[in-house]
Amino acid sequence: MRMMKKEVGEHKGEAVFEYTLENAAGLKVSILTYGGIISSIMMPDRKGDLANVVLSYDSLEGYQGDEYCIGAMIGRVAGRLSAARYSYEGNEFLLDRNEGENHLHGGWNGLNQKVWSVKEVTEGSLTLEVPCEDGEGGYPGSVMIEVTYTLSDKDELTLSYLAIPDQDTPINLTNHSYFNLSGDPSLDVTDHELQLKSRRYLELDDEQLPTGTILPLSQGGFQFEGPISENRTDIDHPFLLEEHFSREISLHHPGSGRKVVIETDQPAVIVYTGGGLEGAQLAGGKASSHPGIALETQGYPDAPNHSDFQSVMVRAGEEYRAKTKYQFMVED
């Protein structure tokens, strides 16, 4: 296992570094200390040709001006919170309104816009940490958030999250990498095959907020068999991962043979086929109409505003933990 480090620029006077983990098989995963961003996952196709299978930018400046949270860590609460507010134990908390009247991805200074510190480097793993201050984004309590990236010689990348707040606060973390297993962002991911062990999804309103209704996949016209082009191609929906399954997700690109299998302990995944990225200037060229697919494993979106959803509230002094594992493989 090898670890490489290089300085790639600075953000608000702080140096930004890129760390690259490489295993014995040659799989490489690169992480920026800015935003905790996964900037590259280099893997071979069935011919042995290497390509970056996540969307990325050519430079740090691209990420600093990014509107799409490409590759970034998201929080303190991922997704949208309706009307940029929530109530808890008789108190109302007003949050940053950074998407119309709503709150998105932690507000104006979310985890994706911070420079993280390196807490620990060991063989095959990197732990980054970043503080969130009391009142930041409108959230109560200070909390130090940690993410550990671990690459194994079995071609498994594991993201392990840890946070302990000093006041009761919602926490719901995810990673916002967009996969394109062809390695070419000018090609659509609609030829990829996506499989979810899910039977239900959350109905959304016109602002992409949960209505509170849980529906069967068939009612939304979703079927996860065959290419995405045979499904609904414009997807930006939360799917519930069933308790009695292993909460497994798989994405396969028949053209290259590349495949990623995702296992998580989280109860939901937001599937987004990147319809809003068309024309963006990415590393490798301009984005196609559906250049990448984000698979954001997390708790229920807008959960603080829905008493019947699984809670994302974390009590003062308690641990928030979450884990998602990505297994990379090539099929003939």
Give the CATH number of the domain where residue 183 resides.
2.70.98.10
Q: What is the DSSP string of 119-145?
A: EEEETTEEEEEEEE-TTGGG--S-EEE
Quote the pLDDT of residue 130: 98
Q: Which residues of 125-144 are buried (b: 16+ CB within 10 A; e: fewer)?
A: bbbbbbebeeebbbbbbbbe
Report the C-alpha gap between 240 and 213 in whole angstroms: 12
Q: pLDDT (tens digit, 9 = 90+) per residue, 113-160?
A: 999 999 999 989 999 999 999 999 999 999 999 999 999 999 999 999
Task: Look up 176 and say whether it is catalytic.
Answer: yes
Amino acid at 183: G
Quote the pLDDT of residue 245: 56
Distance, C-alpha 23 to centroid of its chain: 22
At 190, is the secondary structure helix, strand, or coil? Answer: helix
Please answer whether residues 110 and 177 qualify as being in contact, where contact means their C-beta atoms are separated by less than 8 angstroms.
Answer: no
Q: pLDDT (tens digit, 9 = 90+) per residue, 16-69?
A: 999 999 999 999 999 999 999 999 999 999 999 999 999 999 999 999 999 999
96 is in an annotated binding site: no
The total number of structural domains in the chain stands at 1
Task: Look up 10 and say whether it is catalytic.
Answer: no
Q: pLDDT (tens digit, 9 = 90+) per residue, 169-209?
A: 999 999 999 999 999 999 999 999 999 989 999 999 999 99
**Could you tell me the pLDDT band of residue 12, with boundaries at 50, 70 and 90?**
very high
177 is in an annotated binding site: yes
Report the C-alpha gap between 270 and 304 in whole angstroms: 17
Report the C-alpha gap between 259 and 160 in whole angstroms: 21
306 is in an annotated binding site: no
Among 74, 80, 76, 135, CA closest to 102: 80
Quote the pLDDT of residue 232: 83
Please answer whether residues 149 and 126 qualify as being in contact, where contact means their C-beta atoms are separated by less than 8 angstroms.
Answer: yes
Instruction: Give the residue ranges of DSSP H helices in 47-173.
Output: 60-64
Tell me which DSSP letter residue 226 carries.
Answer: S
What tokens were used for 306? Answer: 């829905």
Please answer whether residues 141 and 320 qualify as being in contact, where contact means their C-beta atoms are separated by less than 8 angstroms.
Answer: no
Quote the pLDDT of residue 123: 87
Residue of 11, 105, 176, 192 marked catalytic: 176
Averaged pLDDT, 263-275: 95
86 is in an annotated binding site: no
Residue identified by tokens 């987004």 is 272
Among 262, 86, 99, CA closest to 177: 262
Q: pLDDT (tens digit, 9 = 90+) per residue, 206-265?
A: 999 999 999 999 998 898 888 998 888 899 999 999 865 567 899 999 999 999 999 999
Quote the pLDDT of residue 1: 80
Please answer whether residues 261 and 250 qualify as being in contact, where contact means their C-beta atoms are separated by less than 8 angstroms.
Answer: yes
The answer, yes or no, to whether residue 109 has pLDDT greater than 80, is yes
Averaged pLDDT, 73-81: 97
Q: What is the widest separation between alpha-carbon atoms in the chain?
A: 60
Domain that holds residue 222: 2-330
